[in-house]
Structure 1
Amino acid sequence: MTRTSVSTHILDTSVGRPAQGVPVGLSVRSGADTPWAAHGASKTDEDGRCKDLPALPSGTTHAQLNFAVGGDFFPEVTVAFAVRPGEHYHVPLLLNPFGYSVYRGS
């Protein structure tokens, strides 16, 4: 069976460049009523990507990415999403000083 995995990248849309060196935390839980558990951490590379987050444990139903972007208005961005076993989830963050958006990429 293919392991469930997560990757991400951050684009600073105010300058049209990848956001390098941003700390990213990965947390997981095995049900909507269970607490989040830290599962891994990384920093974005020179291309704004985190490719080295660990595969999700069996039984994970939700994952959460915490981006420590350090902005004046949004010092951090947290994105939680549901997961299915065996799928890959690429969750890009498009960031500017006064807003952000996320989507499920490929």
Structure 2
Amino acid sequence: MTVSLSTHVLDAEAGRPRVGVPVRVERDGAVLERGVTDEDGRLRFAHVLSPGVHRLVFDVDTPFYPEITVAFRVAAPGAGQPDHLHVPILLSPFAFTTYRGS
């Protein structure tokens, strides 16, 4: 089983997508892929993820957060996880929220 990954950065203060946010996918300290959010605040990664713990690192540069790291687990085959993971963040200057989207 292979798992693809996408993200979406929404600016809660401005009420619109956050364009141009550098984002990288890491595993075990190695960068697997880098990208930048598009005009809709979205980024779909080409790299296919294997089971284990991965990290999305968002270079958001808010007044409080220079970056946000979201760690998540890709389940082993047969564990019922979908073949695509969507991990968005809702961002404001002093807070953020994330969830496993669809």
Shorter-chain TM-score range: 0.7 to 0.9
Q: Contact 1:26–1:53 (CA<8 Å) still a contact in 2?
A: no
Q: 1:89 to 1:69 in 2, by over 3 A?
A: same
- CA RMSD of the aligned region, Å? 1.4
TM-score (norm 1): 0.84
Whole-angstrom distance in 1 between the partners of 2:36 and 2:55: 15
Q: CA deviation at 1:82?
A: 0.8
Percent sequence identity over matched residues? 48
Q: What is the aligned partner in structure 1 of residue 89 from structure 2?
A: 93
Q: CA deviation at 1:88?
A: 1.4
Q: CA deviation at 1:36?
A: 2.5
- Find runs of 4+ consecutive structure 1 residues off by over 2 angstroms: none
TM-score (norm 2): 0.87
Amino acid at match of 1:72: P
Amino acid at match of 1:6: L
Q: CA deviation at 1:72?
A: 1.6
Q: What is the aligned partner in structure 2 of residue 17 from structure 1?
A: 16
Q: CA deviation at 1:53?
A: 3.9
Q: What is the aligned partner in structure 1 of residue 41 from structure 2?
A: 48
Question: Greater strand percent: which structure?
Answer: 2
- Structure 2 spans left out of the alignment, 5+ residues: none
Per-residue deviation, residues 25-55 of structure 1 (Å, max 9, x unmatched)? 0012xxxxxx322100100000000013411
Amino acid at match of 1:43: V
Whole-angstrom distance in 1 between the partners of 2:68 and 2:46: 17
- Structure 1 spans left out of the alignment, 5+ residues: 29-34
Worse-superposed segment, 46-55 or 11-20: 46-55
Q: How many residues align?
A: 97
